[in-house]
Structure 1
Amino acid sequence: MARGKIQIKRIENATNRQVTYSKRRNGLFKKAHELTVLCDATVSLIMVSNSGKIHEYISPSTTTKQFFDQFQKTKGVDIWSSHYEAMQEHLKKLKEVNRRLRKQIRQRVLGECLNDMSFDELRGVEQEMEGAVEVIRKRKIRMISNQIDTTKKKLRSATEMNRNLREFVCSVP
């Protein structure tokens, strides 16, 4: 009995769709392996499921990088250069941000490189420092207030215990 032809369209049932994907994926991987063994071909197969899971097959005699290098050479394209250039540009921006932050640290924390700053920049640094000092003072006052409150509670508790002890001692014959 021959199998009937199926209509090629999206399978609506999610479970059936997943089962079909898994079976056909395994079939493709089997065919890729057979091509590699029978024909001594270099085969690479990359599949991404609708859930984002990546499945790949690469001939055992090669690596993914070697495969793509050969692809580039054959097609005459450089698939890595645009990515490399974008990464170099990003690196340059990060280095500039790093340089600026290091300079700010030297200026604000260590007091270095202040001669390179304009009057307005110096005024900005001064205002930042005054703001930081104000925040530190408020925190210090809050901590001291908490310590005072805690000490008062301990003193009240000790006084209460002392009074109770005196009453106890006085009441004992």
Structure 2
Amino acid sequence: MGRGKVELKRIENKISRQVTFSKRRSGLLKKAHEISVLCDAQVALIVFSTKGKLFEYSSTDSSSMESILERYERHCYAERQLVATDSESQQEGSWAMEYPKLVAKLEVLQRNMRHYVGEDVDTLSLRELQHLEQQLDVALKRIRSKKNQLMHESISQLQKNEKAMVDKNNHLAKLMKENDKKVMEQQKMQQQQNPSPAFLIPAPTPLPFPPLSIGGTYQGRELQIRDESNVQAEGETRTNSNIPSWMFTHIAE
């Protein structure tokens, strides 16, 4: 009976894994040597173990390893350049095909822009004019809706700013009242600590005594007023009330 198919998977046992690596490496190097001899091929083989140890093989000598690697790099670079050239040529071909389409789209857009501003509408049919009118109506509705939205947002922002300013003014007024109250309290405390002297009330000035006169002065005045013949004596008596009236009578005699 033949041996069954072995499942390829990582060997968990380190010793078994190392033994298997050594056997398979030797077989791989043997096969590389056989293909290089039998087929006259340039073969380069590089193997790194799990511990990082390098094992290499070249078909002839160590110098052939570098030449094979350089040839491999040149080949890869040439393939990349070829792929890039093919992609560029494909892009150029696609751009050449897309250019007329883009030019046609640009012309249509420019014509529509002229129609939107009211130019070149003479060549339009009634149906096209109606369609253009509908488009303009829709555009105006959108513009007005956006304008109203911006106006509402601006008004709400202004209202918020006004409310904030009113609150700030009220707060400042409250702070001013508190500051005035503190100043008044400080002034009262200073007056209580350093009372000011009472104002001196000046003594009332004594009134001048009335001039002394001999009795009968007032009676003489009444007699002189009744007597019409002594008008001149009465005038002199009024000018100088300090002289008794009986002296004027003796002077008149």
TM-score normalised to structure 1 length: 0.53
- The 1:161/1:26 distance shift into structure 2, 3 A limit, reads same
TM-score normalised to structure 2 length: 0.38
Quick check: 1:116 aligned with 2:123?
yes
Kindly report which structure 2 residues correspond to 1:9-158, keeping only aligned pairs within 5 A, or say none: 26-27=70-71, 46-47=78-79, 54-55=80-81, 88-108=96-116, 110-158=117-165
For these two proteins, the number of residue pairs brought into alignment is 114
Large movers: runs of 4+ above 4 Å: 82-89
Deviation at 1:104, TM superposition (A): 0.9
Deviation at 1:94, TM superposition (A): 2.3
| Gaps in structure 2 of 5+ consecutive residues | 1-29, 37-66, 182-253
Deviation at 1:55, TM superposition (A): 3.9
Alignment match, 1:160: 167
Deviates further, 118-127 or 89-98 = 89-98
Larger radius of gyration: 2
- Tell me the distance in 1 between the aligned counterparts of 2:100 and 2:175: 79
Q: Which amino acid letter does the alignment assign opposite residue 159 of structure 1?
A: V
Amino-acid identity (%): 19
- The 1:86/1:136 distance shift into structure 2, 3 A limit, reads closer
- Tell me the distance in 2 between the aligned counterparts of 1:86 and 1:149: 54
- Tell me the distance in 1 between the aligned counterparts of 2:112 and 2:153: 35
Q: SS in structure 2 opposite 1:115? A: coil
- The 1:25/1:118 distance shift into structure 2, 3 A limit, reads farther
